[in-house]
Structure 1
């Protein structure tokens, strides 16, 4: 296949397990160009992008932006759950693009807001519609956990990075304290993503087994399958425990950031939980803030069910920089 030189931008979403790469025409992902690569098959991002360029017939992009599941500082990214380090020089060398950018993956999700098909956004908790420049919050639950506020200013959109998944896990009752003690590691008291992630759901399931003196393991995908078909009551209990903690953490983050423009849950685990959040008590836990319980109704909560939103956000970021079509 042939692509015009110096016309499309190249965008990539680098997760803990897979990297997804695509071409974009402005903010629009070019149909048929999304490819997925398993990270374990490659020594680093440069080899992934070179493979993609080869698979796309030697495409020569004008700009490139990658979204990385890890902190980005001074144009250099370190993966949280993958032994890769990524910088702008590497990205420019791999793509030969004239302009390159690196975002935290939650930053990319934030830049996607307003550019996604409404059919891919599921409302969990309705709320009043915010003004055009109201702050928003994206919360990612997948291989790890993170969150990022989104601010639309006169100068443009700003999505500030964070590492919210490594803050201490909140505790509301004795059972949650026992859960924290169960998942504690050599790093000390557990972080949010030690429970609110795919592997965290597995830990919640194992914890309930210990509580019942009937220990057994179950993979996250099997726990969710059992929730769908009702075949394992413990899976339902683990999902409910997970959901209540997710509601508490999202409520805490909402009080910190005041996202009157809405809270947007993203990531594979968020999408898997979307059909179950309401019945498993997400709303009650989200609003359980004492005298501020009523105030919490100011924040609508949605799930973004577009698996490629970070690619769209990366493309939108390049457009905002004025470096793409």
Structure 2
């Protein structure tokens, strides 16, 4: 007989979302978001959360992390948090811990989200194939993407990636100058250097320098808000450059994975830019793929509006049998060695 709930966690570079779940879904009122900077480690955060929820012991836990998942321990890409399976078992009381890349979790979540958790933002309203590949991508503290396909039993299989570390695709003279700015002292400019919360700040600083405007002490959120409200021309230039680059990267990834079932956008930076993504600015750049432009025009683009969507994906992955897990990330029991290598703001 099992005791205790399933802990689901989405651990990003800036925030962590936590929830408690059972076979019928995430328990109402248990989903909460925490700022990582308020805690010294994941263990102190989850310990405080479980005490708050008056839970002494979890049955299992699925931890979606903003990092590559390759073994029994991970270090977040954009925060110096190290999480290992045995320590996570100790603090949660779980007998089974599974690691999942955060975008893998979003891939598993796609089929579980209701209409209130997803908004259509561009392209056709419906996909050409309801059973075709779907893809999720987005910018938050970092950038990434994952593709979701269905196996012979119509169960989701999610393919993880590390797309934030691809080389940033630039085309115009101004973008080349921005590339040089982002690459300074780094050797190269990756996608994530532009398409992330920190990227917004760096693009803004470059725009100010390029146009001879003294930069204001804006946060990432303030830059985008100023742009959306058309209150600051430099912020507008920043947001528009960000969205053009996002659209180009998204279009490239569509050509790579052919998500005829739809493209799903996620991440705090992406959600903040919703009105620009819904405009011709995004669509024109997204579909500018020469002889394959019509292919891009056939792909519906949706926005995941639920900030806790990855928790649904964690639960979906946890409830699946090993034969249906993705090929990259889930890890098994605390007491044993790995028995199957299955698989923000």
Alignment TM-score, normalising by the size of structure 2? 0.88
Q: Write the distance in 1 (CA, Å) between the matches of 2:146 and 2:18.
A: 22
Alignment correspondent of 1:146: 144
Q: Do residues 14 (structure 1) and 11 (structure 2) align?
A: yes
Unpaired runs of at least 5, structure 2: 323-331, 333-345
- What does residue range 49-68 of structure 1 map to in structure 2 within 5 Å? 49-68=46-65
The 8 Å contact of residues 133 and 153 in structure 1, kept in 2 or not, is answered as no
Number of the residue aligned with 2:265: 265
Change (3 A) 1:286 1:70: same
Query: Matched residues in 1 for 2:149 and 2:185: separation?
Result: 37
- Determine the C-alpha separation between the residues in 2 that align with 1:5 and 1:53: 18
Q: Does the 8 Å CA contact 2:123/2:283 hold for their aligned counterparts?
A: no
Q: CA deviation at 1:311?
A: 0.8
Quote the offset at 1:132 in angstroms. 4.1
Match of 2:96 among 89, 96, 99: 99
Determine helix, strand or coil for the equivalent of 1:276: helix
- The answer on whether the counterparts of 2:112 and 2:312 sit within 8 Å (CA) in structure 1 is yes
What is the CA-CA distance between 1:42 and the residue it aligns to? 2.6
Q: How many residues align?
A: 320
The DSSP-based 3-state class of the residue aligned with 1:260 is: coil
Matches within 5 A, 1:168-179: 168-179=167-178
Structure 1 distance, partners of 2:201, 2:38, is 25
For the pair 1:111 / 2:108, whether they are aligned, the reply is yes
Aligned residue number for residue 295 of structure 1: 295
Structure 2 residue aligned with 1:203: 202
- 1:213 is aligned to 2:212: yes
Higher mean alpha-carbon deviation, 51-60 vs 36-45, is at: 36-45
- Are 1:84 and 2:89 an aligned pair? no
CA contact (8 A) 1:11 1:65 kept: yes
Q: Is the 8 A contact 1:5 1:59 kept in 2?
A: no
Match in the other structure for 2:36: 39
Structure 2: distance between partners of 1:124 and 1:36: 25
User: Does structure 2 retain, via aligned residues, the 8 Å contact 1:134–1:261?
Assistant: yes
Give the Cα–Cα distance (whole angstroms) in 2 for the partners of residues 223 and 171 of structure 1. 22
3-state SS in 1 of match to 2:279: coil
